[in-house]
């Protein structure tokens, strides 16, 4: 269900978690990047976090064995805290083995930026992150974790006087008063601001209770059904049901009806939410491809320059600087093993690919945006009870319907179909790569990966004695190039071999393998091919 967290709720949850988890052993943390969720495994309980833009919940589950892909911690929690007037949970502790290094699990509960970061060492060096970011704060493995800037609103420590409270609101109409509180007064949020304003002269007293709710919570579930939400205390004018703890209130609110009609299985709505997430990713990918497509005329001009100045190009050069037709010096990259004419042809080929991309990508992007809008609309109507089961069923893959709405673990790969009808499986990431290679393929299958570039493992299903058809092999290699960090290169080398010749070194990181009898195929990472072969 959709859930809005504010600083009052986060602070109260942190206080209870500190009391219940302090001194307890944290066994492992499992980050599910695709589902935007995380599991924190303790011996007596598992904390489940769902952090999709459409869903933001924290619930307690029965203790269970961590997934093999979970990151082992084997440490003891020293404290759980929340910075004042912030939506950030910090779980700190120290590992029990080896160097006994410190660890940090940071749970960011800011709507549309929800995240989980796992960091280690005295400088909180990030080792795993649910969603990497590179904007004002860089959140990616290898970087030191930087929390969001601290709150600068007045009254962070609950010390806003009654006189100052009335001074902030003096002479303001309700809309302006609402904005003034949200912008300038700590512990206010869209959840409580209307209650604060509606309390009149008692507004400051209610604010003071909110600012100190983490030390004296009277937990409730506000509302019911799809609008149910946990809160540390009741708010005037809102339906409230007492709970024994904030954590219990969170459990109750997270398990309230989702808003879909009773005849729509909850699993279908969850699957629809994941489908919306995949559609968002496809739009972002196409936008990136369109933005990074080179200017065809500039690439073609480099080919023209090479042919016009071919006598100035030294034999075997990897780079050369030539004077263009406007008198400017231009440096060109060359393949030293190719003659000048073939190097010029490479630039012409790049120009042709860029032209094709600029012609086709806008149409693909428009279609992807339309699909995203449609699935978002259907998801919202399903949650509000305005969609029929038939609509939802028709929008989902057949496998979801066949399971009666039960949603099991997602496959570690995406499925494609080659021009010759062969199935191609593309891994979803480093941890999923291992599962694809060693659990979801046969020894005779063809295994592919872009050389010297991080990316997906790819498996071309093949049981024949000889090599697969050249066209099918080239298409699988192209998908490997497109699923790697070399996706924007003009030509990408892709290594391939039978899966039985792929092995994993002992204690190697996820996705790391060694190959025997590998051969290399050079392909052009054409994004249109991915669209054409995609089955999902």
Alpha carbon separation from 117 to 114, 127, 146, 195, 330 (Å, rounded): 10, 8, 10, 34, 45
Residues 234, 240, 242, 247, CA torsion sign = negative
Residue-level pLDDT at 227: 76
pLDDT cut 90: percent of the chain above it:
48
Residue entry with tokens 């504010």: 6
C-beta of residue 204 within 8 angstroms of C-beta of residue 165: yes
Residue-level pLDDT at 77: 96
130: Cβ contacts below 8 Å, ≥ 6 apart: 31, 33, 36, 38, 51, 115, 116, 117
Per residue, the 3-state secondary structure of 345-372, as one string, reads: HHHHHHHHHHHHHHHHHHHHHHHHHHHH
Q: How confident is the model at residue 414 (pLDDT cuts 50, 70, 90)?
A: confident
- pLDDT surpasses 50 at 260: no
Q: What is the mean pLDDT of residues 108-122?
A: 88
Residue entry with tokens 């290898």: 142
Q: Looking at the whole model, is its pTM more than 0.75?
A: no
- Identify which has the larger pLDDT, 244 or 368: 244
Residue-level pLDDT at 535: 55
- pLDDT surpasses 50 at 118: yes
Q: What is the mean pLDDT of residues 296-303?
A: 91
Q: How confident is the model at residue 496 (pLDDT cuts 50, 70, 90)?
A: very high
Q: What is the mean pLDDT of residues 278-303?
A: 84
How would you label 218-241 residue by residue, b for 16+ Cβ within 10 Å and e otherwise?
A: ebbbbbeeeebbbbbbbbeebebe
DSSP assignment string, 205-251:
HHHHHHHTTTTS---EEES-GGG-EEESS--TTS-EEE-SSHHHHHH
C-beta of residue 486 within 8 angstroms of C-beta of residue 478: no
- pLDDT surpasses 50 at 322: yes
C-beta of residue 474 within 8 angstroms of C-beta of residue 521: yes
Residue-level pLDDT at 17: 96
Spatial separation of the C-alpha atoms in residues 521 and 477, rounded to whole Å? 7
Q: How confident is the model at residue 401 (pLDDT cuts 50, 70, 90)?
A: very low
pLDDT digits (tens, 9 = 90+) for 149-166: 999 999 999 999 999 999
Residue-level pLDDT at 502: 93
Mean pLDDT of the chain: 86
Residue-level pLDDT at 488: 77
25: helix, strand or coil: strand
- pLDDT surpasses 70 at 191: yes
Tokens of 43: 């011996």
Q: What is the DSSP letter of 188?
A: -
Between 236-240, 269-273, 390-394, the lowest mean confidence (pLDDT) is in 390-394
Tokens of 186: 């700590």
- pLDDT surpasses 80 at 9: yes
411: helix, strand or coil: coil
Q: What is the DSSP letter of 508?
A: P
Q: What is the mean pLDDT of residues 239-250?
A: 92
466: helix, strand or coil: coil
Q: Out of 273-282, 288-297, 351-360, 515-524, give the one with best mean pLDDT.
A: 515-524
Residue-level pLDDT at 398: 47
pLDDT digits (tens, 9 = 90+) for 127-139: 999 988 877 789 9
Spatial separation of the C-alpha atoms in residues 81 and 282, rounded to whole Å? 37
Residue-level pLDDT at 506: 82
């Amino acid at each position: 269900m959709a859930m809005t967290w504010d600083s009052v709720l986060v602070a109260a949850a942190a206080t209870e978690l500190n009391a219940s988890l302090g001194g307890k052993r944290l066994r492992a943390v499992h980050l599910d990047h695709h589902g935007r969720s995380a599991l924190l495994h303790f011996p007596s309980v598992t904390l489940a976090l769902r952090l999709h833009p459409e869903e933001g919940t924290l619930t307690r589950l029965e203790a269970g064995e961590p997934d093999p892909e979970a990151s082992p911690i084997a440490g003891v929690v020293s404290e759980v805290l929340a910075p004042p007037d912030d939506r950030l949970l910090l779980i700190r502790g120290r590992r029990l083995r080896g160097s006994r290094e410190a660890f940090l699990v940071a749970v960011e509960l800011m709507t549309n930026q929800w995240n989980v970061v796992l960091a280690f060492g005295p400088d909180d060096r990030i080792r795993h992150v649910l969603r990497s970011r590179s904007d004002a704060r860089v959140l990616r493995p290898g970087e030191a974790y930087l929390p969001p800037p601290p709150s600068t609103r007045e009254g962070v420590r609950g010390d806003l006087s009654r006189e100052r409270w009335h001074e902030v609101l003096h002479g303001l109409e309700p809309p302006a008063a609402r904005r003034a509180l949200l912008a300038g007064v700590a512990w206010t949020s869209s959840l409580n601001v209307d209650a604060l304003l509606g309390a009149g002269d008692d507004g400051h007293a209610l604010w003071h209770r909110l600012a100190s709710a983490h030390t004296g919570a009277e937990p409730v579930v506000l509302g019911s059904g799809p609008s149910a939400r946990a809160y540390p205390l009741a708010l005037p004018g809102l339906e409230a049901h007492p709970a024994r703890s904030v954590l219990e209130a969170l459990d109750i609110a997270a398990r309230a009806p989702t808003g879909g009609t009773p005849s729509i299985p909850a699993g279908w709505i969850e699957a629809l939410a994941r489908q919306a997430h995949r559609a968002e990713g496809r739009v972002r990918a196409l936008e990136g491809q369109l933005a990074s497509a080179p200017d065809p005329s500039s690439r073609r001009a480099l080919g023209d320059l090479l042919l016009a100045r071919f006598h100035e190009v030294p034999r075997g050069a990897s780079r050369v600087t030539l004077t263009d037709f406007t008198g400017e010096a231009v440096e060109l990259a060359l393949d030293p093993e190719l003659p000048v004419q073939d190097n010029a042809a490479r630039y012409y080929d790049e120009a042709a690919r860029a032209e094709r991309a600029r012609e086709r990508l806008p149409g693909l992007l428009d279609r992807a945006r339309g699909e995203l809008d449609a699935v978002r609309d259907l998801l919202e109507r399903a949650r509000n009870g305005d969609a029929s089961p038939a609509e939802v069923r028709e929008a989902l893959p057949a496998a979801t319907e066949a399971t009666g709405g039960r949603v099991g673990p997602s496959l570690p790969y995406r499925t494609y179909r080659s021009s010759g009808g062969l199935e191609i499986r593309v891994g979803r990431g480093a941890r999923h790569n291992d599962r694809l290679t060693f659990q979801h393929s046969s020894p005779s299958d063809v295994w592919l990966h872009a050389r010297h570039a991080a990316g997906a493992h790819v498996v071309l299903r093949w049981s024949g004695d000889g090599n697969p058809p050249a066209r099918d092999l080239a298409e699988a290699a192209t998908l490997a190039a497109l699923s790697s960090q070399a996706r924007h290169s003009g030509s990408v080398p892709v290594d391939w071999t039978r899966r039985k010749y792929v092995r994993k070194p002992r204690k190697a990181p996820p996705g790391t393998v060694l190959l025997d009898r590998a051969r290399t195929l050079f392909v052009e990472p054409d994004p249109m091919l991915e669209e054409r072969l995609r089955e999902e």
